[in-house]
Amino acid sequence: MSALTGIPELRDLAREELPDLAYRYIMSAASSGSAAAGNDAAFAALTLSPRVGVDVSDLDTSVELLNSRLPHPILLGPTGCHRLAHPEGELATARGASTSEATYVVSSYTTTPLADIAAACTGRWWHQLNPAPYTRYMRDVLAEAVGLGAEAIVITMDNPVAGIRSAQGWDGVTLPDGLEFGVLGRLPGALDNPSDPLDIYRPALDASWSWDDVAALCDEQPVPVLVKGVLRADDAERAVAAGVSGIIVSNHGGRNLDPVPATAAALPGVASRVAGRVPVLVDGGIRHGEHIVKAIALGADAVLIGRPYLWGLAVDGAAGVQHVVERLWTELRMTMALCGLTSIVDISSDVLWDAVG
Ligand code: FNR
């Protein structure tokens, strides 16, 4: 892999590198796959309106997020089972995230214990949980994560039941021999697959979770709580009322319900309803630095990536993850310079050629 390897080329390299099961797990999407494809297409379709004749010799890509100053607005979103992609799994991701200064949101489907990830992560990390019965188990995991240094908690809201995948995609949580779940393995029965494959309820997911539970969680937790998987502006309002510290506009990379709007289409409505009361982040289809400029122009404070860093992990472990973030960061700087934007706060809908509304 050369320094010039772009994200789409990495996907092709990962396909060559990975066993079929792992590649299908990473790429799988709900139903026809139109939501996953739609995410990519929506960011790609927006055209930019470059301003020339601006002094762009000094660029500032830093952002303020949850009272921390980050050097760039790229986070690694929560994705499960990194040891399917690379033998060093989440440890390699943690190292790659740290060297590229990207906040790593560790999935509850990690195949490495949290304590080991925390030890490998010299940078910032958050912990993502699917709603589990908010009993002792979830409290224990959250307390452990916070004790180990997780700076925020992300609750995934768009997964009350399993996503609609076909046998082509991987819709199960059974790992090949030798691999174990680092967090979920401690919840008795969580990983039991229902005896009826069409039983939509899964022991690891709590289908009864509602905004009242989110409000209780926000009250109890000593760190900021964000919700992930919001597309509707009225749900964003409910999230703010529940006391969240941030909202992630996401359709789970198109892996759960299909069709749903592309996140680039849902983002402006959420951002305008939230109106700066809490940060709004977005994921789904971020493949180039210019997509980050577009996401911020549509109202995001920062972006998360999913599949791209898994491709990097598969191809070159920690160095591959680092490469993906640094490549996007470089492309972000180039896009800003080519559009006449010197800092992230300069980015507004003015940089989009077509009005969004
Ligand atoms: C995911 N995603 C996800 N989300 C979550 O909240 N918890 C999880 O455990 C997972 N696991 C997961 C596994 C894999 C293999 C993928 C690809 C995705 C969704 C993820 O956080 C994010 O929303 C999307 O991946 C973003 O879209 P892109 O960047 O993959 O297009």
Report pLDDT digits (tens) over 175-229.
888 888 888 887 767 777 777 777 888 878 889 999 999 999 999 999 999 999 9
Query: Counting Cβ atoms within 10 Å, is residue 257 exposed (0-12), middle (13-18) or buried (19+)?
Result: middle
Instruction: Identify the CATH homologous superfamily for domain 7-351.
Output: Aldolase class I (3.20.20.70)
Q: What is the spatial distance between Cα 170 and Cα 113, in angstroms, rounded to a whole number? A: 23
How big is the chain, counted in residues?
Answer: 357
The binding site comprises 25, 78-80, 107, 128, 156, 165, 228, 250, 252, 255, 283-287, 306-307
Ligand 1, pocket residues at CB < 6 Å:
25-26, 39, 77-80, 107, 109, 128, 156, 228, 250, 252-253, 255, 283-286, 305-307
- Collapsing DSSP states into helix, strand and coil, what is residue 58? coil
How far CA 194 is from CA of 165, 172, 305, in Å, comes to 15, 10, 31
Residue of 252, 288, 291, 323 with catalytic role: 252
Closest ligand 1 atom to Cα of 248: 23
Q: What is the spatial distance between Cα 49 and Cα 289, in angstroms, rounded to a whole number? A: 15
Which amino acid is residue 28, in one-letter code?
S
Whether residue 288 lies in the annotated active site: no
Query: Counting Cβ atoms within 10 Å, is residue 117 exposed (0-12), middle (13-18) or buried (19+)?
Result: buried
Which parts of the chain have pLDDT scores under 50? Answer: none
Give the pairing type, strands 280-283 and 125-129. Answer: unpaired
pLDDT value of residue 167: 62
Q: What is the spatial distance between Cα 221 and Cα 143, in angstroms, rounded to a whole number? A: 9
ipTM tops the 0.85 cut: yes
pLDDT value of residue 246: 99
Contact by Cβ (8 Å): 47, 354: yes
Residue nearest to atom 19 of ligand 1 (CA): 252
Whether the model clears a pTM of 0.80, i.e. scores above it, the answer is: yes
Q: What distance in angstroms lies between residue 333's CA and the mean position of ligand 1's atoms?
A: 25
pLDDT value of residue 134: 62
Contact by Cβ (8 Å): 331, 289: yes
Q: What is the spatial distance between Cα 130 and Cα 135, in angstroms, rounded to a whole number? A: 13
Q: What distance in angstroms lies between residue 337's CA and the mean position of ligand 1's atoms?
A: 30
pLDDT value of residue 168: 59
